[in-house]
Amino acid sequence: MDVISVIRTKRDRGELSDEQIDWVIDAYTRGAVADEQMSSLAMAILLNGMNRKEIARWTAAMIASGERMDFSSLSRPTADKHSTGGVGDKITLPLAPLVAACGAAVPQLSGRGLGHTGGTLDKLEAIPGWRALLSNEEMLNVLDGVGSVICAAGDGLAPADKKLYALRDVTGTVEAIPLIASSIMSKKIAEGTGSLVLDVKVGTGAFMKNLDDARELASTMVELGTDSGVRTVALLTDMSTPLGLTAGNALEVRESVEVLAGGGPADVVELTLALAREMLDAAGLTDADPAKALADGSAMDVWRRMIAAQGGDPDAELPVARERHVVTAPTSGVLTRLDAYDIGVAAWRLGAGRARKEDVVQAGAGVELHVRPGAAVVAGQPLLTLHTDTPSRFEYALQSLEAAYDIAPAGTGFSPGAIVLDRIG
């Protein structure tokens, strides 16, 4: 077997055999296939796709590259959630402790920023002392004692995906549906959770720009999970506008704590509760009331214990960027559009994301939203505040915001769209 023949097969729109898939995943994991060769294959997959048989085998090969976890010793049913990534998508932070407060165990394996979308681990690392890297034993202990854990996948869990995930970020192949599906599901199946809820984002700020592509991805992942014995359901949710009022690491942690304290933006609260109900239902905890757990402070209690169990100080001051720049409304009227992608790119350029897999993110960088679509605005009032430690980044970030919003004349009717667009599974 050689990598050139594998690349040529997919380049020429052929079907990869089981043997080709098993070999190339194993060889890439061992370092026998170079990054530039795997990036060529990833691009061929992006352009020409994979059928269900190929995706299933690719996912199985990713799982086989490492170990599988076992949570059967826990007294609680396990439920996990995964988002395909969006702008301002801090939902995991309040969601994991909320579902744990309702009786489930939540083994949340999360990732870092990918392109213009933020990473859960990057956000939580803004908390002084918090550790993303836990051993399997540490993860199980936190899960058993607290009920929820958010951490990085260990080196032994689908190591092929860890290499390929970073490569996709810097080679323009993030959007390949087969690679997204296999990346997500290989980790989740190997993780050993009993049930899984997928949050598949749709819109300008998501990797899936339209409902048809999002349904294809969601259906593919639900099939992979179901075939592997994991109770799997997917919600398609809107990502045309950023979630909440912040996009950035420490900024989003602050907003998540507000939600856990019983406040926070209405859209973040709504989606957190919708996903919590799906997770609890999939785990068989149909009598639990996540709204009550959010209101009575029990979710906040779990959050504080979870952060402390991973070395963080839940009372510590979060990092603040050294520099700020305010974007004001050029005219009066009604804000009718605030583009998620443009906001995400601005946050990325300010230092909240990475252009290369080796880059270090700025904890305090990002974009703060002062209004959301539907709000009346007056010329000169603040629309956005940009945060960064590096003032030279402002000009580059502002370029991405030139067409990021629309202001219509006062009196223009506006109806916000639904957050949850569809359900599959």
CA distances from 297 to 97, 257, 325 (A): 11, 11, 35
CA 111 – CA 125 distance, rounded (Å): 12
Q: Where are the alpha helices (DSSP H) in 283-381?
A: 290-295, 298-309, 340-347
Residues recorded for the chain: 425
Tell me if 207 sits within 8 A of 173, measured CB to CB. no
Measured distance CA(74)–CA(59) in Å, rounded: 26
Which tokens belong to 32? 């026998």
Q: Is 212 a catalytic residue?
A: no
Has 161 been annotated as catalytic? Answer: yes
Q: Distance between CA atoms of 93 and 170, rounded to whole angstroms?
A: 26
The token pair at 88 is: 């301002």
Which one is catalytic: 10, 81, 82, 277? 82
Residue from 187, 201, 231, 393 carrying the catalytic annotation: 187
Q: Which two tokens stand for residue 281?
A: 């239902």
Active-site choice (183, 186, 256, 400) = 183
168 is catalytic: yes
- Look up 183 and say whether it is catalytic: yes
Determine which one of 10, 81, 168, 188 is catalytic: 168
167-173: long-range pairs with CB below 8 Å, 24+: 167/35, 167/38, 167/39, 167/42, 167/357, 168/42, 168/114, 169/114, 169/115, 169/354, 169/357, 170/355, 170/356, 170/357, 171/39, 171/42, 171/43, 172/43, 172/46, 173/39, 173/42, 173/43, 173/45, 173/46
Q: Which two tokens stand for residue 210?
A: 């339209």
Measured CA to CA, the distance from residue 85 to residue 402 in angstroms comes to: 23
Q: Quick check: 351 and 390 in contact, CB under 8 A?
A: yes
Catalytic-labelled residue, pool 22, 89, 122, 161: 161
Both structure tokens of 192: 């050993």
Q: In 84-160, at which residue ranges do the beta strands (DSSP E only) sit?
A: 106-110, 148-152
Q: Is 355 exposed, middle or buried (0-12, 13-18, 19+ CB in 10 A)?
A: exposed
Q: Which residue has tokens 């170079």?
A: 34
**Catalytically active residues, by annotation:** 82, 161, 168, 183, 187
